[in-house]
Amino acid sequence: MGVLTVRKYGDPALRRRAAPVTEVTPEIRRMIADLVDTMYDEVGIGLAAPQVGIALRIIVASDESGREARALVNPVIAAHGGEATAEEGCLSLPGIFAPVTRAAWVRVEARDEEGRPVSIDARGLFARVLQHEMDHLDGVLFIDRLDPVARDRIKRKIKREGFPADSHRAFAL
């Protein structure tokens, strides 16, 4: 097990479309353990494999209680509804926060770390985390979901100032 380096905005690894996992092997399980270790080390509540340079469709996220990490392999949104807007951050864009509108609830189908099929009904923050992490699997960042004016403001700020060295990392995805 180990802590991996989280790639930052500008790294091409964050813009690739990740490939499906064909089989949940011991190597995939080790990868999941590393993702969980990295998420906790970064004080994040979710992490997607592309954020550590692994182009596979794997995400990890704190569950509703915030006590246990869930790993989802090849997750897809089977159903969704409603609309909710809330502030979001990302471990790959440290110190940047902005309100993002997403589905209020989602049903996600995936495989767990044993390769068994799972179906999760999520709402609230957990639904947001799952949608944010699944976007990473398609090379999409939360700033892509902002209106162009807000997005350009953030891009200019990053270009001008870079990322704050000691940014508050909690609540980032």
Which stretches of the chain bind Zn ion, using CB under 5 A? 90, 173
Beta bridge partner(s), residue 108? 77, 120
Tokens 């092997």, residue located: 25
Residue among 42, 88, 113, 133 flagged as catalytic: 133
Minimal distance, residue 92 CB to Zn ion, in Å: 5
Contact 164, 157 (CB under 8 A): no
Would you call 114 a catalytic residue per the annotation? no
List the one residue out of 44, 10, 6, 15 whose CA is nearest residue 162: 10
Q: Which is nearer to Zn ion, 24 or 141 (CB)?
A: 141
Minimal distance, residue 136 CB to Zn ion, in Å: 6
Minimal distance, residue 132 CB to Zn ion, in Å: 6
Cα distance between residue 69 and residue 133, in whole Å: 13
User: Measured at CB, which residue is nearest to Zn ion?
Assistant: 90
Active-site residue set: 133
